[in-house]
Amino acid sequence: MAQQGGYQGAVNQPTYPPQAYTQPAPQYEQTRPPPAPNQSTKPQANDKGEWVTFEQKFEVVKPKFNDVWAIFFLLAVIGGFTAVSGITLHAYSENKSFIGDGIYGSGESFSLNTNTIVLFAFVVVIALVVSILYFWLARAFTKQFIWITGILNLLFGFATAIYYFSVHYYSAAIVFLIFAVFGVVCFVSWIKRIPFATLILQTIMDVTKAHPSVLVTSAIGAVVAAAFAAWFSVTLVATYVKYNPTADSQTCANGSGSCSHAKLIGLIVFITFCGYYISEVIKNIVHTTNAGVYGSWYFCSRSAQGMPRWPALGAFKRAMTYSLGSISFGSLLVSIIQLLQQLAAWGEQAARQEGNMWAVALLCVLRCFIMVLNWAVQFFNHYAYCYIALYGAAYIPAAKETWRLIKDRGVDALINDCLIDPVLNLGAQFVAYLTALFAYLYLTYTKPAYNSSGNYNAPVVGFAFVIGLQVCNIATVPIKSGTATFFTAMARDPDVLRLSYPQLWADIIRLYPKVQERIHA
């Protein structure tokens, strides 16, 4: 019999509800007989004729708004970004006749102009379309997906580096070459772990096919992220237009006024931070919502009561109310680190142009350190949000408890050997390569006057890279959320998997023989 939302195989009937490990897990009243083998249950009404909801399945004893200060901080950032955007776009509209309304025809030769807005519009569309195609690739060719991602990423990385060398854009060529070489080393070391990752990926994709609400949530998130990226791009250009202090710039002379390097740099840093922060919040709201669906599948799909009704809606409500502060808190930490990484990249570029190799070397080491820190914080966040989605905890307690569960159960070894997240990061990097290369080619062939000396290559290409990376990261959230929730739930109660999905359990043991010892099941 076809099953809903799970892995194919014979199923032993669970005889007890998921056991608590550190705090009560969702409890289920056994008012109906357990499902037949190889069958999961659809949402069912209780004896009173009421539908069981996500909030009832994963009930929080005393629900409250966690990390409230972070909610106010998020609102302040959104308000500040909106204010800056309104001021700069108004100034932009006042000078539109001089700045131009298309790719060509701008009179502004000293700052970004409408030519750049068109560029970023293309970048957003390319990032969104390619990211959607990439996710479709994961669904259509699940078994080959990891190989396809690795090979495409490496080929395109080397091709991009070779192209930049051929046009004498050496700084970008060296960076992309380093990324490509590092990718080769990683991918070769991953080959022996591909079968295990493929099994987990197939399981996650089975759940997405059975519960399309995951795809709907992620599609909406990707569209919102693309819309924000477009807004961010226009605001960035308008800020350059308004505050560029070049003496010959007509925008200051035409009434926009108050131009200075200090204001320009400060506002660009603020806008960049807002771009990272708001994008992270969007991504993590989608992730937390999807984690509620995957958690419901893991704990409830084979229970007598079945799946809760509309789990995505219930998880989304919790994410936008009680857990919004926790999501904002974790996103803030990542955004600050990403901003520091971007500032170090800009500093390295400036030092390279000045020929200060000592500063270049120092900033390169600093960027590597920040990259490692960024990975560590994102790793903790990724799993903490799954716990927050299911149990409504505050950010710091959720991060501590999740890490303790994962370490104590030995699931960290499984996570380290599962390649799905690194592979998806390579996929996002591939999309970022594509958008960055498009931005460079666009600047090369349209030849805007403001970039006659090539000074704007680095910031424009860099922003295009970031837009492509962020949009793809959000588009692939369904897979990442499924993986993280699967391991988090396994750490909390591995017996649910062993009893409800014995064939999947057996396949994991076959590909990872030490799993029984490592998770102490």
pLDDT along the chain (521 residues), means of 10: 38 35 41 39 53 79 85 96 89 60 46 70 88 85 81 80 80 77 79 82 86 87 86 84 64 58 86 92 93 90 77 92 94 92 81 75 82 83 89 88 78 70 82 87 79 71 84 85 87 83 84 65 46
Q: Report the pLDDT value the prediction gives residue 37, as an integer from 0 to 100.
A: 35
Say how far apart CA 89 and CA 238 lie, in whole Å: 6
Q: Indicate the pTM of the whole model.
A: 0.78
Residue 256 lies in a domain: no
**Does residue 3 sit in helix, strand or coil?**
coil
Q: What is the Cα 278 distance to its own chain's centre?
A: 12
Say how far apart CA 59 and CA 395 lie, in whole Å: 18
Q: State the amino acid at position 483 in one-letter form.
A: T
Q: Is the CB of residue 194 less than 8 Å from the CB of residue 135?
A: no
Output the six-digit token pair for 256.
Answer: 């926009």
Q: Report the pLDDT value the prediction gives residue 274, as an integer from 0 to 100.
A: 94
Query: What letter does residue 478 receive in the DSSP assignment?
Result: H
Total tally of structural domains belonging to the chain: 1
Hey, which bits of 192-339 come out as E strands? none
Name which of 309, 346, 356, 350 is nearest 55 in CA terms: 309
Q: Which long-range contacts (C-beta less than 8 Å, at least 24 apart) are formed by 93-102?
A: 94/254, 94/255, 94/256, 95/241, 95/250, 95/251, 95/254, 95/255, 95/256, 98/250, 98/251, 98/254, 99/241, 99/251
Q: Report the pLDDT value the prediction gives residue 50, as an integer from 0 to 100.
A: 60
Say how far apart CA 417 and CA 174 lie, in whole Å: 30
Name which of 443, 433, 423 is nearest 468 in CA terms: 433
Task: Classify residue 49 by burial, with Cβ atoms within 10 Å: 0-12, 13-18, 19+.
Answer: exposed
Residue 95 lies in a domain: no
Residue 295 lies in a domain: yes
Residue 400 lies in a domain: yes
Residue 49 lies in a domain: no
Q: Report the pLDDT value the prediction gives residue 417, as an integer from 0 to 100.
A: 60
Question: b/e per residue, 163-175, with b = 16+ CB within 10 A?
Answer: bbeeeebeebbeb
Q: Report the pLDDT value the prediction gives residue 273, as an integer from 0 to 100.
A: 94
Q: Report the pLDDT value the prediction gives residue 286, as an integer from 0 to 100.
A: 93
Full residue range of the structural domain in which residue 463 is found: 54-69+113-226+276-518
Residue 205 lies in a domain: yes
Residue 358 lies in a domain: yes
| Residues forming beta bridges with residue 309, ordered by sequence position | 53
Q: Report the pLDDT value the prediction gives residue 321, as an integer from 0 to 100.
A: 92
Q: Report the pLDDT value the prediction gives residue 284, as an integer from 0 to 100.
A: 93
Q: How far is CA 421 from CA 128, 249, 309, in A?
A: 19, 46, 29
Residue 232 lies in a domain: no
Q: Report the pLDDT value the prediction gives residue 515, as an integer from 0 to 100.
A: 66
Name which of 162, 147, 289 is nearest 217 in CA terms: 289
